[in-house]
Amino acid sequence: MGLLSTALLLEVYSQLFTRPPFPTNDFTGKTILVTGANVGLGKEATAHFVRLGAAKVIIAVRSIEKGEAAKREIETALGRPNIIEILELDLSKYSSVKNFAASLAQRYDRIDHAVMNASIATEDYETFEDNESTITVNVVSTTYLILLLLPILRTSATKYQTTPVISVVSSGVHAYTTFPERKTPSPFATLNDPKLAVMTDRYQVSKLLQVYAVREIAEKTAGDSPLVVLNCLNPGLAHTALTRNARGSTKVIMAVMRACLAWTSEEGSRTLVHAVSQGPESHGVYISGCLVENNNLDSAVTNEDGQKTQKKVWSELSDKLEKIHPGVTKVLSN
């Protein structure tokens, strides 16, 4: 049986016969940031953080109106008013990422954890900034935000003697692509060529690139003091609005898979709460099934070719980030 077949069987077994543990962590006094928090996993994770005693939950959303609606619903249901605060963040625009981070630094002297949940999935080729839209949102802007958050969280860690955690919501589908673009001299340039783009594979590729970026940043910051823990996670298949724009065979396949296998949004959100609750042992780890010690990372990432690809991807990605914001990668030489 091939590695992909084994991975698929493990995913199916997990979806059918297991559920992530219901969160009981204590977040009393903590400030938590959640991106993509007005719907789906992000919204349900926000509700858990509010329920578990967080002093503040900052939700980063494209639509303030939708953020306000989510805030009202969660705070009313849980009887904890004035806990959720809303900031605008549009990952399709680098200026929005930069302004968002500046607002955080200005308004909050304490941020304990950050959940990077916002992503898109589309089969339509469209350009956001200097890349195909999925690459801009899921990879470049997400990584850019992580780098901007690092000094903010380091300052918070020093002041409050805490160990902040950033968790990136990746996916088990990172194992379902061979990422053929890696064989070209410039993977990002190839991904951004509309004539070569295989959009049915694009979301999977973006999630693999997230794993590479997390692993690379974690390697470069492993000796930091204070340490900002960075991990990524597989939230499993859950009922969300992520594939609302799917069409054709993809729409049919996703509908069938959801009907047969999907967890509820609340069940899936438990994986987000779990990942951001972990300590230094999770630095650079891909967490699947809420297990840090058995992370089920695809061997194509960890083998020799995968490690070379990671370095190649990071070299091109860091060049992109430096063009967007000169000096931004210097935070990795703290």
Structural element, H or E, at residue 218: helix 202-221
Q: Which positions are annotated as active-site residues? A: 170, 203, 207
- 37 phi/psi in degrees, rounded to 5: -110, 5
Q: Rounded to whole angstroms, how far apart are CA atoms 144 and 137? A: 10
β 31-35/229-234 pair status: unpaired
Contacts of 333 (CB under 8 A, 6+ apart): 220
Enter the tokens of residue 137.
């949102």
Enter the tokens of residue 124.
């339509």
Q: Rounded to whole angstroms, how far apart are CA atoms 311 and 306? A: 9
β 127-128/131-132 pair status: antiparallel
Q: Specify whether the CB–CB gap between 116 and 143 falls below 8 A.
A: no
- Map 103-137 to HEC letters: HHHHHCCCCCEEEECCCCCCCCCCEECCEEHHHHH
